[in-house]
């Protein structure tokens, strides 16, 4: 763990593994339990998580972010090399984020989501659970993604779909006003 920088009021929970040159901003929580609810004796309970939260080399996370650990070992949360994460981002359990990906402020990445390499996720994007985002994809700001995104695809909107189609329909609506 060479060159690791940890900001003020950071909580690093059991099962968190940091690579070299990882930078964590103020007030972040790494390795927290995620949101998995089960009925136990008729009452809803949040299930304790036993997986890992792994941040590889050169990951940078700004302030007020939460990165959950995996629900079980083998279903770990893994953030690969050179990932950059802006402020106030929620990353749920068992998420995998590929190398060189950038995630904008306020993004919410739900559990078991797999994000490829060199992906741009804009501010306030929401990715539903079990989504797969291909390599070199671009998710425009505020998009709500409920389906997989292919390699190189650009999506926008709520619910997210092809950016060119979205912009064409948006321009048509504006010209009708």
DSSP conformation class of 39: E
Which of 93, 110, 115, 117 is catalytic? The answer is 93
> Residue 165: which residues within 8 A CB-CB, separation 6 or more?
none
93 is catalytic: yes
Q: What is the DSSP string of 74-119?
A: TS-EEE-TT-EE-SS-EE-TT-EE-TT-EE-TT-EE-TT-EE-SS-
Residue 171 zone, left/alpha/beta (φ > 0; ψ -120 to 50; rest): alpha
Q: Which residues are catalytic?
A: 93
């Amino acid at each position: 763990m060479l060159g690791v920088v940890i900001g003020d009021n950071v909580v690093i929970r059991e099962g968190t593994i940091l690579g070299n040159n990882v930078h964590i901003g103020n007030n972040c929580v790494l390795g927290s339990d995620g949101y998995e609810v089960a009925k136990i004796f008729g009452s809803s309970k949040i299930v304790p998580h036993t997986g890992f939260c792994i941040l590889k080399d050169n990951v940078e996370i700004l302030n007020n972010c939460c990165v959950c650990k995996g629900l079980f070992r083998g279903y770990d949360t893994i953030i690969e090399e050179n990932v950059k994460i802006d402020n106030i981002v929620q990353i749920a359990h068992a998420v995998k984020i590929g190398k060189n990906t950038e995630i904008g402020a306020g993004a919410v990445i739900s559990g078991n989501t797999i994000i490829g390499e060199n992906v741009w996720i804009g501010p306030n994007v929401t990715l539903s659970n079990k989504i797969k985002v291909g390599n070199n994809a671009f998710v425009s700001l505020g998009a709500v993604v409920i389906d997989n995104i292919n390699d190189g695809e650009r999506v926008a909107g709520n619910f997210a779909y092809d950016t060119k189609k979205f912009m064409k329909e948006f321009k048509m609506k504006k010209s009708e006003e």
